[in-house]
Structure 1
Amino acid sequence: MKTAVITLAHGRHAHLAGQQQALRASTLRPGDYVVVAMDDPAIAAPHPDVSGTVLRVDSAGGNLPLARARNLGAETALDRGAELLVFLDVDCLPAPDLLSGYEQAARDPAGAGRLLCGPVTYLDPPGTGGYDLSGLARLDNPHPARPAPEPGEVVPDENPDLFWSLSFAVTAETWQRIGGFCEDYTGYGGEDTDFARLARRSGVGLAWVGAARAYHQWHPTEDPPVQHVADIVRNANLFYERWGAWPMGGWLTAFRERGLIRGGTGAERCELADGITGPREPSAAVP
């Protein structure tokens, strides 16, 4: 089975280099490595030990085209012969057994034909020497909001709202069955939840793969992500128009409590509060 790793990048060059270093230490090397550089001409070709390519994508109206970039990465990998697509966030360091874990799960009756998701540990800031890749297993502490089976376990799941795009895998056949990400989403938030809804509509559930562990490299952030409030409002409205439900409920609640937005509950449209500016709303596509 030819496995391709697909990573989107905009900045985070040191994190991207760390990911490539971790892939070089993998027990199973990727058959291909597709880096999709969004508005970032400084991203160079992957390390020679990790065979792959870099694609260039421009933003749409200043908003990073995450959905379009994932689709382009997948289409390119498939054209290059990939049979299993592994999507890794640029911040994620794969454990040595991540790729082999996803491959085995794709053949396992509990995981075959499903979106395969692995547990992710959020790391503390590294020391001056960076992360010790040989010691990542000692830091294993998967995010509590998602299932985290033990290595060797593959656990089916039918809740699409638990899907996340930090680390997941899908066979070529299942990707084509789902049809990819909805490219009406731009900027941060919502497109991965939409993708999981498209999967469910296509009869594709989730499965959690204990062996496919990843480690999210630390970077400064805000909780809730107020720097992305305009993107989240725009994409939340798009999601509601497509599915009749509100995504990212915790973030929307936190934004309302801070006076940054109004609406986003029931049938009330989500809007930025007075004085908060953001890009215009996109039109919704019928799923």
Structure 2
Amino acid sequence: MVFTTTLKLFLLILLVQNTNSVTHIKGSAKREKVDIPATMAFVSIQGEGADKTIIEWDDTADRKGKNGKPLGTYASATVAVNSPYFIAKNVAFKNTAPQPPSGALGKQAVALRISADMAAFVGCKFIGAQDTLYDHKGRHYFKNCYIQGSVDFIFGNGLSLYEGCHLNAKTNSFGALTAQKRGSFLEETGFSFVRCKVTGSGALYLGRAWGSFSRVVFAYTYMDKIITPKGWWNWGDKNREMTVFFGQFKCWGPGAEYGGRVSWSRELTRQEAEPFISLDFIDGRHWLPH
């Protein structure tokens, strides 16, 4: 089905008809805030290109909601996906809130929040500043996507594989690419970046240990000189240095030099990296469409 009105209207039609379909989005930027409920499984949307098909809004965590209380990071998302088996292709998700000073309170501005299992994004863009992509929970696959932000611009507790993605920092001071929230050794969550590239401005940590057992791996990834030599930050808690899993494998570029990294990160061996660098990391061979 092809539509030129709002994504909200199309989803309402699907809900009434109790059907599932691939939605082809035509036209340019659409200013709307969208929440796809958990009851709408197998929703797929496809745009005409991530530079042309854009869904945008400008909420921030400190903006007041209908109840008069701040929205919070969770509800600031331009698009929130709560439905399993969601697929998006060639669409841009954008939060147009102004970029705040580094460390500003209440300025988290999510472009997309994915809170469902088994979701895939191909050729998409995620544009924002602080907390751009909320990789909240579930198994997710990002292929050939562009993700831009400043602080913690990929964050959450998902189990996610990012393959061939361009990660671009936009900050004039310190920023952080990831903030992964794995809170227990028993949780099978984490972020893996394979054959990606990291570029941008400012000084960037590869990740901050939001969770005590935070887990992030970069493999075969180009890193520009913006990456700080230490690479990682313990979130101000030295105890996390003993429990996090932060690693690199065969990365390259001026920011990939491992010699200055914190002692509690790892330069992985082939055997250590193997579980993170294929679709098996997210059990993708069992749920991803060909």
Greater fraction helix: 1
Say which structure, 1 or 2, has more relative contact order (CA 8 Å, 6+ apart): 1
Would the TM-score normalized by the shorter structure come out above 0.5?
no
Question: Which one has a larger percent strand, Structure 1 or Structure 2?
Answer: 2
